[in-house]
Chains A and B, each alone.
Chain A
Amino acid sequence: MNLLEVKNLSVQYGSGQGGVLAVDGVDLSVGVGEFVGLAGESGCGKTTLAMAIPNLLPKYASITTGTIEFEGQDLSNKSESELNEVRWRDISVIFQGALNALNPVATIGNQIAEPILIHEPGTSHDAAITRAKELLEAVGISASRSSSYSHEFSGGMRQRVMIAMALACRPKLVIADEPITALDVMTQAQILELLRSLSETFNLSMLLISHDLSVLAETCDRVQIMYAGKVAEVGTADDVFGEQNSAHPYTQRLLKSYPNIHQERKFIDGIPGYPPDLSKSHAGCRFAERCTVSVEKCFTDEPELAVISELHRSACHLVGGSK
């Protein structure tokens, strides 16, 4: 059984006419100890999908269809207090843009210790602070900084504090929404190394959202590509990113528009046009208008996720795409 099994999930912001269907019938699974990557252009619904799992969506957002099974229990219809049992103890989140994710008037030591004290009653305050200090050391911040406040840290350090905080209760699943975007390459490598070693020690699973496809290719067991609120392609990192393997024209374009450091930087390979407006309904494939290989059918019929190989699925009428 998978740790997390999201099925046919749809999330809408607002309602009626102006409503934005940010996630539309998406499946997502994460196995025990598995790292799953989530990629796709800005605004395609990655954060929305991720936040829906522990239901941290804003009030005006609603889950309109689907189930979110975590260890066999459906989280989508749990009450706030039931969810509080699961939050952070089992599922923690490294929020996108951790710059303001820390409380300005509490020391970071106390903020890291807080979930420990909440979820492990009986832990003394001192013991929790000691653990907070160990976590800080683990992400490369001196334990003596535990009594500092967030404004005394640089952006990258705050990001690391956030990572330490996410690991505080040794959760089963960490949802990391662009956790290393604000960090330099050296620190990125350290953090990824740390997360990977922790996953081995604690059997930690991770849903990693990143725009950095090379990070996903390196770190993740499986990768899921989203486009305009839908899954475009999913498979092992090799299935999706491998030279001859990616089976969706969108993934192929995404890979091409990704700068390769061995080549001269070019911007001409970006994908022209913009993702469609999610507040309108669509016929056909959502990528059709920007797709260079689309055929007539693409504009009228919506493609299903088709099986390509054991773990590999692609939502394209021309499975295999244009090679």
Chain B
Amino acid sequence: MGYLPRKSLQVLGSIFAVTTFNFFLFHIIPGDPLRLIARTQKLDAEQVAALRIEYGLDGSLFSQYLTYIGNLLHGDLGYSFALHEQVSTALMRALGHTALLLATSTVIVVLFGIFLGVFAGSRQGSKADSRTIIGALVFWSMPTFWVGMLLVFTFGVWWGVLPISGITTPNAVYETYFSYLMDIARHLVLPTLTLALVDIAFFVLITRTSLVEVMSEDFMLTARGKGLPRRTLVWRHGVRNALLPVMTASALYISGLVGGAIQVEVVYSWPGMGLLMYNSVLARDYAVLEAAFLVSSVVVILANFATDVLYRRLDPRVVVAQ
């Protein structure tokens, strides 16, 4: 079997395993979902019994599991009584918002991180190198929510130049589609900046370490012996090899963020996955939490899959090892 089909099967297998685990996790923990619904909805015993049948909660755990898988295959993740809408609808919306935030901040974090890492790593031991490391570590050690609040106060409250909450201005009327996009972009600035400031160190340090290691390899001496200009030497031979571990780190970073931009989303009321999960925990909205966990796991699996495929494109040695 070819690499891609085999790997895809593995991915499907992992997703199935995660789905199953996720289901039993949520059904083993104490708490009857119907009692939660009843608490918020003022239902009488008859209605509860009807709902129990409707949601397949009357059968054994295993038959419930089969119902769950069946619904899942139809894209039905259940209904959230806390949100008064289908879980899938709420989830898709949140996922879209998170994707926008993550895509922007990841591009910035990875690109600037690599650039600064190369800047420092190719000057190993110099003042510029140690200053970059120290700078990165200082930001790295700041709590995300604290940096967020700092930026909120500075840019939002103090100078009042940037919006500090939500994804669009409430009740705004947009003349053109472009002004709508600009509004979103303005809302995006502070959350992105917060993520970037704190997380950039991760990429700076990994890139730097990796490059320093590569620079001492024998083939770098060959490249130097060829009389390559320094920039070609560093980028074509050094960075190209140093990026392999950075790529793995990027996949880790992205998958970690999908459910984990919680602090930033809460500080800026960014209506993404993090905020959704945060609110669902407060509301004990198991249906949403269960689905959100599932989606996060699937994203992690897919991100790893993408890394594997990319790695094979970047590192010719991997193909042989297969």
Which residues of A does B touch, CB under 8 Å? 54, 56, 80-81, 83-89, 92-93, 95, 97, 99-106, 114-115, 118-119, 149, 151-152, 162, 165
Contacts and interface: CB of A to CB of B under 8 A. Distances in A.
A104 B321 CA distance: 14
Contacts of A118: 226-229, 232
Nearest to B243: A105
Contact of B219 (A81, A83, A84, A103): A103
B221 A84 contact: no
B241 A104 contact: yes
A84 B237 CA distance: 16
A48 to B, nearest CB: 13
Contacts of B229: 81, 84, 118
A146 to B, nearest CB: 14
Contacts of A95: 218, 221-222, 225
Given A105-B314, A105-B316, A151-B316, A56 B224 contact: yes
A115 B228 CA distance: 8
A81 B240 CA distance: 22
B226 A87 contact: yes
Contacts of B315: 104-105
B248 to A, nearest CB: 15
Nearest to B241: A105
Contacts of B226: 87-88, 114-115, 118
B109 to A, nearest CB: 24
A56 B228 CA distance: 12
Determine chain B's interface SS by DSSP, over half rule: helix
Interface of B: 217-219, 221-230, 232, 237, 240-241, 314-317, 320
B222 A102 contact: yes
Contacts of B223: 103
A84, A93, A152 — which one has the most chain B CB atoms within 10 A of its CB?
A: A84
Contacts of B316: 104-105, 149, 151
Contacts of A83: 227
Contacts of B237: 103, 106
27 contacts: A54-B225, A83-B227, A87-B226, A88-B225, A88-B227, A89-B227, A92-B225, A93-B225, A95-B222, A95-B225, A99-B218, A102-B222, A103-B223, A103-B237, A103-B241, A104-B219, A104-B317, A105-B240, A105-B315, A106-B240, A114-B228, A115-B226, A115-B227, A118-B228, A151-B316, A151-B317, A165-B222
Contacts of B224: 56, 87
A67 B219 CA distance: 28
Nearest to A107: B316
Given A105-B314, A118-B232, 5 more contacts: A87-B225, A95-B225, A101-B219, A105-B241, A114-B226
